[in-house]
Amino acid sequence: MAGARAAIRYAKAVLSLASDKNTTEIVNNDMKLIAKTIAESSDLNSMLQSPVVSSSVKKAVLLDVFKNANETTRNLIDTLITNKRLPLLEQVALKYNLLFDELTGTQTAQVTTAVPLTDALRTKVLAKVKELTGKDVEIKSTIDESILGGFILRVGDIQYNASIANKLNKLKREFTLN
């Protein structure tokens, strides 16, 4: 829990610095890349968490992996190393993305479908979510064949389940109750 609070504080500080320098969007892209890279690379994540690997090696690896990062992002890495909080880097990046989305009024919609989304369906989902929430939305698509067809849409704490599996389960419950 203390790590999560610290990650939020670092993310707020970085957002504030980026706002002062008018680089919030550039830093947001850096943070998305950092979060994605750490999540996808178990070796990088292990290295960041390891107390055995020296800070100088960690810094060299991070600056090499993220060599095109903005100055504010590189300063964050330096600060986390200095404060011995480098294992929080992924959390800080994720919190920054959330804070940036709040600042710009953007939300993320999670769409689960049985097959990949077509461009036409993606456009319809974006329009419907914009109508419901009044905010710009970024879609993250997941494929889950167990829903058989239709889709499940999650925006914030709202969920709309229009999957075939859900409709079949409702029918099953109706027949068992009668």
Closest by Cα among 80, 146, 87, 144 to 112 = 144
Counting every residue written for the chain, the total comes to 178
Inter-residue contact 114 to 142 (CB < 8 Å): no
Q: Is the pLDDT of residue 26 over 80?
A: yes
Inter-residue contact 137 to 165 (CB < 8 Å): no
Q: Give the largest Cα separation in the chain, rounded.
A: 69
Q: Per-residue pLDDT tens for 83-142?
A: 999 999 999 999 999 899 888 877 778 888 888 888 887 887 777 777 777 777 778 888
More confidently predicted of 42 and 149: 42
What pTM does this model have? 0.70
Task: Show me where the domains of the chain are located.
Answer: 2-102, 105-177
- Could you confirm whether domain 2-102 is CATH 1.10.3720.10? no
Q: What is the pLDDT of residue 170?
A: 85
| DSSP annotation of 105 | T
CA distance 86 to 44: 12
